[in-house]
Chains A and B, each alone.
Chain A
Amino acid sequence: MTSSSKHPFHPALLTWPALASAGLLALSGCSVANSDGDPGNASTVRVVLGQEPPTLEACESNLTSTGVVVRSNVTEPLIERNPQTGELEPKLATEWEATSDTEWTLKLREGVTFQDGSPFNAEAAAFTIDRAVNSKLGCNVEGYVFGDADLVVAAVDATTLTVTTPEPDPILPLRLSFLEVVPPSTSTTEKVREPIGTGPYKIEKWDAGQKISLASWDGYWGDKPAYAKAEYQWRSESSVRAAMVTSGEADVAMGLSPDDNMGDLGIDYPNNETVALRLDANEAPLNDIRVRQAINFAIDKEGIVNSLYQGKHQVAAQLVPEGIVGHNPELKGWAFDLDKAKELVSQAKADGVDTSAQISLVVRSAQFPKITELAQVLQEQLSQAGLNVKLKMLETSQHLTYQVRPFAADEGAVALMTQHGNQAGDAAFTVDQYMLSTGAQSYFGTPEFDAMIKKADAASGDARKKDFEEIFAYQNDKVVQFAHISHQTGIIGKAKSVNYTPNSSSGDELRVSEMTPAS
């Protein structure tokens, strides 16, 4: 078994596989890697998202992954909500007013055309509403914003539209801001993956699995955007998205984690998301309000915010952050008081509540950065208060069986971690779902509380604001279905070559027209 050979290999042995692999590389280069790696072209802004949009269908644009590309880039709504001020602003409709209890009249912008050359008019607006709300398409926006209510729409003349609701609806204009307008040539029987809109960009190419390119459209009615093109890619690891900005492969990266260590390339912005535990009061031991209060006292919200999230989040006292109509600025987060929590638990125990019954802490894996860590902290802190907590990390689909009605049966007491984002800017979108005793994401309520909510829903102006503020205070005092944890802060990565200031809706609609090249 000895050998002193210096050249043990026949060269030919190596050549053919080497050729084969070179050939393979070339072959693959043709079919997969045909997309030219766009070097940081100044006229193109490159965005990297967390996932590929399932579709760009306009009537699904309330879905974050679709909306972030489509909304205000390809298509536009009639009315737009300014995320900074919360005010509604004209877009394709120039003015609107309630002409009766149940009827709204909108004046539409003139001189607007769709990217296919067809004119935008009342007929197109009426078509859009009918298609999204009254059709059998099963649009996501229909359920999300309008529920079961069918709307009656009529084009009075080319620029006037009336919308009639079955019940008085003081926030109909806000609801309409979720509808992205499409031309009447759009299919009413099938969803359309690549819609035509009136926006500053049109869809140029969608390389499924790889990239979406938008190109600015010359016929846009408004100002021409600074970037001629926008390119979207997607990577599911946030560290990879961050790396792409650091290495100059992307200009904007969405949804980063504080540990991606972006330095001054990372920009924080309030993303309107609130994290809370939702407590099921139908099961022991959570059926006792003292136990639910104890949970609130047992959570060290300051510690979580400062340690896990480097002080970037804010301790929450209610489900909606500042800036949402109905946010109650008076409310302060529950104090962290472990002794008080223990005392409340032992009081409940003394009154015969089975405080040793297991509470399932139900958490969705990878819902937001560091959720696993947060879940373990909560489990530990609730256990210290004397409760028997079991952590259940679930994937999205399983988590949904706990999150929405009909709730999974025979599960015992559940404390569900929920991340709620109110995209609409009005507390009604939160309260109706999370606090009404029949709400899709509400475990329980009281008749009195339901009445307060109904009253607030129908109110408008300052009365509406005040009613909702009272609702949030009442939940913390009398109902305690929620243990609020924090209002989150999002992080986007942004290359130095781009000027852009993210706002609370950047995660849902990323307006490329607001980006400019830094000189």
Chain B
Amino acid sequence: MNSPLTEPAANQLASADHPGTGKNNDKREGKLSLFRLLLKDRFATVSAVLLVLIGLTALIGPALMGDLATKQNLLFANKAPFSFAYGWEYVLGSDSLGRSMLARLVVASRTTFSVALPAVAVALVIGSLWGVWAGYHRGWRENVSMRIADVIMSFPSLLLAVVVLYVFSPSAGNIVLILALTRIPIYLRTARAESAELQSRTFVDAARTFGARPNAIIGRHVIPVVLPTLLTLATLEFCYVMLAESSLSFLGIGIQPPDVSWGLMVSQGRQYLQTAWWLSIFPGVAIVVTTIAANVLAAWLRIATDPAQRWRLSLPRKRMIARIPVKEAKP
């Protein structure tokens, strides 16, 4: 996250298909068989189980932990992990103020998700709809939208963060706002490219000839086709947003104590790397595990459920290239 926020992640994954496994899924299969399919792929199964566990932790964990995550004991600071000598609370050790690392990781998971999920969701919804709209209509709407995306991408998001934190308060909500705003261009550009390519296709033409209104065409024909790509992109972005939040903490303008998130824990723990490694390693591992599980599952889910898969596979390759400036590049 060298460049908090403005770094565009994989801004398109249109072509990240798995034909190898994809072929198995070409037959129509019901929900039950989807589950059976999941069990067949060990990696996907493990990922799904992990994600469910992490999700449940974030959902109900903080309530179970009570005040354990904030209860300090200065005489009990920086106790090493993997020992049951001090009770189950301290099996992952204690932090610099003698708080249970386990409880803090659990409470932090909720903050982390309540920043990352809304940020990704807001950017996804706004960026995708806008991009599809711009790409469908082409012309000035497309040009203006793309230039706005340029503006956002070259804007120093750190300044935005400082301003929001200065004028408002450094709450999770405001950080969601900043992260969402700075990530909109990623979806905007991808959706624009895909939709621009689709709007010239026969089935869209057909719908138009039958007098369907543009919004109806977008909703019924364009969005379902574009969605899998955007959802895969959103999974990657989920990881990015967790890291960006962590970088903001490193620069002192992210989530502020006494709130706690995984990113903040990694950032605060870095000064103890030599004396108490577990303070930053555990939350770091939590981020990595969550990311990998989400990506593996998303890759699998995309192949398993995407009705557009066959359609895609039958297309010539170059159509898949999302960001070819179809019009701009050919003056």
Contact = CB atoms under 8 A, between A and B. Distances in A.
Q: Do chains A and B touch in the complex (CB under 8 A)?
A: yes
Contacts, number: 64
Nearest to B279: A259
A366 B270 CA distance: 13
B8 interface: no
Interface string A172-197: 00000000000000000000000000
A372 B268 contact: yes
Interface in B1-41: 19-20
A303 interface: yes
A307 B257 contact: no
A307 B272 contact: no
B271 A377 contact: no
Given A1-B20, A376-B97, A393-B256, A239 B77 contact: no
A308 B270 contact: no
A82 interface: no
A391 B75 contact: no
Q: Which of B19, B96, B165, B169 has the most CB of A within 10 A?
A: B96
Contact of B96 (A300, A308, A380, A393): A308
Q: Classify the interface of chain B: helix, strand, loop or mixed.
A: loop
A398 B258 contact: no
Interface string A475-496: 0000000000000000000000
B170 interface: yes
Interface in A339-377: 365-366, 369-370, 372-373, 375-377
B74 interface: yes
Contacts of A395: 162, 165-166, 252-253
With most chain B CB atoms within 10 A of its CB, the pick from A238, A376, A398 is A376
Q: Is the interface of A mostly helix, strand, loop or mixed?
A: helix
Interface residues of B, number: 27
Interface in B253-274: 253, 256-258, 268, 270-274
A308 B74 contact: yes
Nearest to A261: B274
A308 B19 CA distance: 57
Given A1-B20, A261-B275, A303 B74 contact: yes
Contact of A239 (B74, B258, B271): B271
Given A1-B19, A395-B162, A395-B253, A377 B170 contact: no
Interface string A230-255: 00000000110000000000000000
B290 interface: no
Contacts of B165: 395
27 contacts: A1-B20, A239-B270, A259-B274, A261-B275, A303-B74, A306-B74, A307-B74, A307-B77, A307-B98, A308-B96, A366-B252, A373-B97, A375-B257, A376-B97, A377-B72, A377-B97, A379-B258, A391-B257, A391-B258, A392-B256, A393-B252, A393-B256, A393-B257, A395-B162, A395-B166, A395-B253, A397-B166
Given A1-B20, A376-B258, A393-B257, 20 more contacts: A239-B271, A239-B274, A259-B272, A259-B275, A260-B271, A300-B74, A303-B75, A306-B74, A307-B74, A308-B74, A308-B96, A369-B271, A370-B271, A372-B257, A375-B257, A376-B72, A379-B258, A395-B165, A395-B252, A395-B253
